[in-house]
Amino acid sequence: MNPGIQVAPTVDAANPWAMHAVRILAIRREVPQAFTYELAFEDHAVGERFRFRPGQFDMLYLPGIGESAISISSDPDDPQRLLHTIRAVGNVTRALARKRVGDQLLLRGPFGSAWPVESCEGQDLVIAAGGLGLAPVRPVIHHVINRRDRYGKVWLLYGARSPRDLLYTYEYDDWRRADIDVQVTVDLGYDGWDGHIGVVPTLFDRLHLNPARTRIITCGPEIMMRFVIAACLTQKIGPQHIYLSMERNMNCALGFCGHCQLGPAFVCKDGPVFTYEQMEPYLDVEDF
Amino acid sequence: MSVSTIPVGSTVSLQKLRLQGLIDALTNAGYQVIGPQIADGAVVYDELDSLEQLPLGVIDEQDGGRYRLERSNDAGYFDHVVGPHSLKRYLFPPQETLQQLHLKDGHWNVEPTPIHDKPVAVIGARSCDLHAVAIQDRVFLEGPYVDPGYRVRRERLFVVSVQCRRAAATCFCHSMKTGPRASRGFDLSLTELDDSFVIEVGSDQGGQILASVEGWKASSAAIVDQAKEQSVQLERTMKQRADADPAAGTSRPRQLDTHDVHDLLLNNLDHPRWEQVAERCLACANCTMVCPTCFCSSVTEVADLTGEHVRRERTWASCFTAEHSLLNSGVVRNSTKSRYRQWLTHKLATWIDQYDTSGCVGCGRCITWCPVGIDLTEEVAAIRETAS
């Protein structure tokens, strides 16, 4: 489905199971149950080689517990400062949440397809994220800010369940200063919240988009992305200009284990980033 | 005749009992020799020392959910077709250790598992299974990443294929264009005649091994033609019998209309037939375990009591389990309907998108070993009949 897969310099195509040792440099508590880990390669030569594209993920491994696919949430122009935001919900991520600064993990990566930041140059960009879905698009925000003049209008539409579930709130002002129109909404407000209440797709109605020059990047729960897509289609944005990040059971990241298949795609190697045009036949098929 | 090798493409004859010489030659060359033999009422692959272990004069009657061994009128060593085992287990084993890790001074050392087992030579592989290996090569060798364990086993594998001289009612390689005649992918290829084997050399290694077997002689043109005609005749029979009315009390031998099957299935993801097959399907995963191309797997962590020594074990997995599509938010394919649909659409449709080949070689194992006899050729035909 995606013959042009680039193998990252830190992945050995002939032995893609090989891992690199990393140490936890810092841990930041973001929202309830979600933490950002800053990781550093123990072998500096590997760290020097490490590059990732926005939207890619790493396999983080705890021996005896297992591997988990975690998107990279830091600045791709500064690959040595490597951040992963992790929600402790599964077997591996709960064990990760018990790790401390200085502990060792093992890492394979990066893997997967990237957000189309190059082909979006010269266009307006709407980044629509929900919940933890902001983590895989934060590299896009960094990328855009680092070369802001190459993009037209840029919006970030971001929603979470409640104000305390909003990720990276400490960075919104920086992003706004870099001329990104950050609009935030929550499903459930409470005392002291004077922002927007409602789901992310409702924010679309307030935007005046030029459909011919608008590109959409969306990441969040599948149900949210479906409504974002519907809002985009209403605004006459082409299915080939809507990019989404799909979630499936990624075990190996290599297209070997078969668990993450979604129609013709292996989400781990052909994705996780797809166009809506690619996913359209399957998104509404029940239990597919 | 004493030569060091027999050129690729040559055909020689060997008296039947001389086949022991081939087993011995492979053993002496350092191979673990595997061949078909009877165990628990089925022809399976296992270690082969002697010609006497082969299932002489035995045929396997197969049908949906049915497999029975019977005495044959011919006294052939290879009159059975395919049993539950295929070459898959010798390249992509049901269980293997991917890596071992040891914790030392707060640092994990990762060791890939060296492949200590001997190289394997399999006698008896059929054309469908050679095609299945070529399909798995695309998965494990020909994509952006290479599976190192598969690669080592694949490079060392020695294949002695056998040309089928009968087909079970479940066989439909003629539909999938994967047989019955094996034309490539073997080191040596045997055609069993009444009193001799005709052996075609398919590789340099094959030529070297065969040259060391006592008693081979160049085949006459007539014998070579006779051997080829056997495959031609079988293919003709397979096509004719699938169109003829079946004999009383027997089911119709299989065929699969592959025309446009990719679009047929993907345009009918909501076809009512998926519900109907799900009422019969037990989601037992047998079809995926016997399939020679199914490649799904899971990795399990095995730690000792200290937690300082860990093995990563890869085992075969199946899309018929809930675990297969498990996310933190729940199971994606939460019904037997969705799992059967995943299996069949992958095998016959999306496999083509992924690997530019069907995932089915027409071996019929999934039909035979399905406890309720679900037949994919019948399911496809039913969808085709009332397709949207």
Per-residue pLDDT band for A258 (boundaries 50, 70, 90) equals very high
Respond yes or no on whether ipTM tops 0.85.
yes
Q: Is residue B314 part of a domain?
A: yes
Per-residue pLDDT band for A132 (boundaries 50, 70, 90) equals very high
Say whether residue A256 is in contact with chain B using an 8 A CB cutoff. yes
Position B112 pLDDT exceeds 80: no
Number of Cβ pairs < 8 A linking chain A and chain B: 126
Position A84 pLDDT exceeds 70: yes
* Domain A124-245 part of CATH 3.40.50.80: yes
Mean pLDDT of B63-83: 94
Q: Is residue B283 part of a domain?
A: yes
Rounded percentage of chain A residues whose pLDDT exceeds 70: 99
The SS3 of residue B323 is helix
Domain that holds residue B295: 261-385
- What CATH superfamily is the domain A20-111? Translation factors (2.40.30.10)
Instruction: Report the 10 Å Cβ neighbour count for B25.
Output: 19
Task: Encode pLDDT of A156-209 as tens digits.
Answer: 999 999 999 999 999 999 999 999 999 999 999 887 899 999 999 999 888 999
CB contact under 8 A, A249 and B329: no
Q: From CA A94, how far away is CA A89, in angstroms rounded?
A: 6
Mean pLDDT of B83-110: 95
Give the model's pLDDT for residue A56: 98
Q: Is residue B118 part of a domain?
A: yes
CB contact under 8 A, A261 and B350: yes
Q: Is residue B191 part of a domain?
A: yes
Q: What one-letter code names the amino acid at B186?
A: F
Task: Encode pLDDT of B329-380 as tens digits.
Answer: 889 999 999 999 999 999 999 999 999 999 999 999 999 999 999 999 999 9
CB contact under 8 A, A1 and B354: yes
Nearest to A228 by CA among A248, A245, A203: A203
Residues from chain B that touch A16, judged by Cβ atoms under 8 A, are 145-147
Position A120 pLDDT exceeds 80: yes
In B16-106 the beta strands, taken as DSSP E runs, fall at 32-39, 42-47, 58-63, 66-71, 95-104
Give the model's pLDDT for residue B247: 78
Q: From CA A280, how far away is CA A230, in angstroms rounded?
A: 11
B236 and B363 belong to one structural domain: no
Position A147 pLDDT exceeds 80: yes
Give the model's pLDDT for residue A3: 53
Q: From CA A160, how far away is CA A181, in angstroms rounded?
A: 17
Least confident of B99-113, B188-202, B278-292: B99-113
Question: Which residue in B270, B335, B353 is closest to A1 by CB distance?
Answer: B353
The size of chain A, in residues, is 288
CB contact under 8 A, B333 and A67: no
Question: Which residue in A7, A255, A288 is closest to B338 by CB distance?
Answer: A288
CB B160 within 8 A of CB B124: yes
Mean pLDDT of B41-58: 97
Q: From CA A122, how far away is CA B296, in angstroms rounded?
A: 42
B186 and B303 belong to one structural domain: no
Residues from chain B that touch A42, judged by Cβ atoms under 8 A, are 107
The SS3 of residue B56 is coil
Mean pLDDT of B301-315: 96
Say whether residue A263 is in contact with chain B using an 8 A CB cutoff. yes
CB A126 within 8 A of CB A270: no
**Mean pLDDT taken over chain B:** 95
Rounded percentage of chain B residues whose pLDDT exceeds 90: 91
Instruction: Report the 10 Å Cβ neighbour count for B24.
Output: 17
Interface with chain A: mutation pick from B332, B335, B340, B388, highest number of A CBs within 10 Å: B332
CB contact under 8 A, A264 and B326: no
Per-residue pLDDT band for A1 (boundaries 50, 70, 90) equals very low
Q: Is residue B82 part of a domain?
A: yes
B188 and B232 belong to one structural domain: yes
Task: Encode pLDDT of B222-243 as tens digits.
Answer: 999 999 999 999 999 999 998 8
Give the model's pLDDT for residue A205: 84
Q: Which long-range contacts (CB under 8 A, 24 or more apart) does B101-105 make?
A: B101/A63, B101/B309, B101/B310, B101/B311, B101/B312, B102/B308, B102/B309, B102/B310, B103/A63, B103/B307, B103/B308, B103/B309
Burial of B4 (0-12, 13-18, 19+ CB in 10 A): exposed
Q: From CA B74, how far away is CA B19, in angstroms rounded?
A: 18
Mean pLDDT of A24-41: 97
CB contact under 8 A, B329 and A256: no
Residues from chain A that touch B108, judged by Cβ atoms under 8 A, are 21, 63, 104, 106
Rounded percentage of chain B residues whose pLDDT exceeds 70: 99
Give the model's pLDDT for residue A5: 87
Say whether residue A24 is in contact with chain B using an 8 A CB cutoff. no
Q: Is residue B100 part of a domain?
A: no
B176 and B295 belong to one structural domain: no
Give start-end residues of each CATH 3.40.50.80 domain in chain A.
Answer: 124-245
Q: From CA B141, how far away is CA A267, in angstroms rounded?
A: 19
Q: From CA A65, how far away is CA A242, in angstroms rounded?
A: 36
Mean pLDDT of B26-32: 97
Number of separate domains in chain B: 2
B175 and B230 belong to one structural domain: yes
**Mean pLDDT taken over chain A:** 96
Per-residue pLDDT band for B388 (boundaries 50, 70, 90) equals confident
Final residue in a domain of this structure, among B243, B271, B299: B243
Contact partners, residue B221, CB within 8 Å, separation at least 6? none
Question: Which residue in A254, A257, A269 is closest to B298 by CB distance?
Answer: A257
Interface with chain A: mutation pick from B97, B107, B145, highest number of A CBs within 10 Å: B145
B278 and B213 belong to one structural domain: no
B187 and B317 belong to one structural domain: no
Strand B95-104 versus strand B309-316 pairing type? antiparallel
Residues from chain A that touch B139, judged by Cβ atoms under 8 A, are 255-256
* Distance in Å from the first CA to the final CA of chain B: 65
